[in-house]
A and B are shown apart, each in its own frame.
Chain A
Amino acid sequence: MIFFRRSLKRELSKVTELLKVDRGSLWREKQKNRFRVLTYQIEYNLFRNPMDMFVFLSIILREIFRYAPNLVVLPRFFTNLFLSLLPFSKRKIRDNPFSLVEKYKDVIFEEYAEILKIFSSICISGIFGGTLKGSSEYAIFAIDEEFIISDKDVFTFNVDDVKIAYVKPELLKDFKVARKLQEAGVRMIITGESFVDEFNIWKAKSGVWARSQSVGIFGVNSVMVGRYFGKNHKGISFISAPSIFTKNNDGFVAKLNEPEKRGIVVADLYLDSLEEFLAKQPKTYKKYRSFT
């Protein structure tokens, strides 16, 4: 573990030095009215040792950095990958993922905090670091080197004056939670809905994509695919918006087409346009509020 942390810091300091050259131009590129979101769809893989994990994270970091995003969203359950850092066999980890998480979650958080702080200090405004599933699910977030953990079903935070919420996919099957968040000023919902065994695009659209259309909000679905927790998970990562804001009027600002593969999804979101759109909408729904 100590070896891992030292080598990570050493390598990242090199990367930071290299990136300092480009940093000015990248930050200038960040216009005030655009909010760049990046999400990474990965395949679940238990690493053989911490070094493999480190190589993997370095690759992610380098890829992410090229885009200079305001917010990076890592997939739901991403933090469970950090079980690889524990000195147990793969089989033991695979057989008891949740009990190991409960036992060693403090160690995992400590390590992850180090990594996320380094990530966020380099270039990115905020990182949603995925979730860790044990007996309950912990959402993890880092902004300006601050590390936050929450075990709530709905978890809100601010990045560059944009109010964002992480919501469990089960709560996005109807509009009620999304409506409350939208009225509270939340403009983006992050979730991670994957499907066991069978993937159907229509079912995938009934989550945060549907809330984008019905409530008028940006949505980010970030999933980890592959076999984990004893089941084969499929899904697509995407960034959704009310369809009038999307290029093909399909409601997807950006999405991956392969439900089983790794990939990167990046989109520039224009919050001013969304505010304008929401302000113009007649608020006739309020007369039906007593029924909801």
Chain B
Amino acid sequence: MNVKFYIGPQVGIYEFDDVDIGISWYENVPVFKANMIILGTEKVVHVFFEDVEEIVEDSAILDYRGVAFAVGTSNDVIYPEFFHYAKSNRAKFVVIYEKVEDPSWFMYSKHRAWVHSQESGLYVFSVVDFNGNIKYGVYSPYEFSDKNPGIIIEGGAPHILEVEL
């Protein structure tokens, strides 16, 4: 199944009506038109799907049209055990939210996301609040990325990608 993701801030999204899943930091009520909207902070994640809002604290395994995925927040997502738990629940990708203040901890969170993606074999969508700047990252097992670094995107810019899950 091909799933089209949008990851980025909640602006200028009306052009992308055919996005399956939109992932962003929780700033206000969603203005997306994606089928499923995942908004979160370092403590709680809101998932909007077919007019139903689900609120997740810490972590949970959810479902998008038959595709299982995991969402997680700060304290859980720093450990590889969480990603193993997601994988053992047949999740195909993981969305993680973190908040960091120190630049070296920001780098550390990126390294960890990459490592967890490699060892679990899952796509990892990371949204990090770094001193008020929201940074996005998508990591995959390295064989699925161009030139094999295992990093699809990193930075503050929005991105759309289609993934076969």
Instruction: Mark A residues whose CB is within 8 Å of B.
Output: 173-175, 179, 200, 202-203, 206, 210, 213-215, 242-244, 249-251, 281-282, 284-285, 288-289, 291-292
Contact = CB atoms under 8 A, between A and B. Distances in A.
A285 B104 contact: no
Interface of B: 58, 75-76, 78-82, 84-85, 88-89, 102-105, 107-108, 111-112, 115-116, 118-119, 142, 148-150
A174 B79 CA distance: 12
Nearest to A284: B75
A288 B75 contact: no
Contacts of B118: 206, 210
B119 A288 contact: no
Contacts of A292: 81, 84-85
12 contacts: A174-B84, A175-B119, A206-B142, A214-B112, A242-B108, A249-B103, A249-B107, A282-B78, A284-B58, A284-B76, A285-B82, A292-B81
Contacts of A288: 76, 79, 81-82, 84-85
Nearest to A251: B111
Given A175-B119, A249-B107, A292-B85, 7 more contacts: A175-B81, A206-B119, A214-B79, A244-B104, A244-B108, A251-B111, A285-B81
A289 B107 contact: no
Given A174-B119, A288-B85, A291-B81, A202 B150 contact: yes
Q: Which 3 A-B pairs have the closest CB atoms?
A: A285-B79, A249-B107, A288-B81
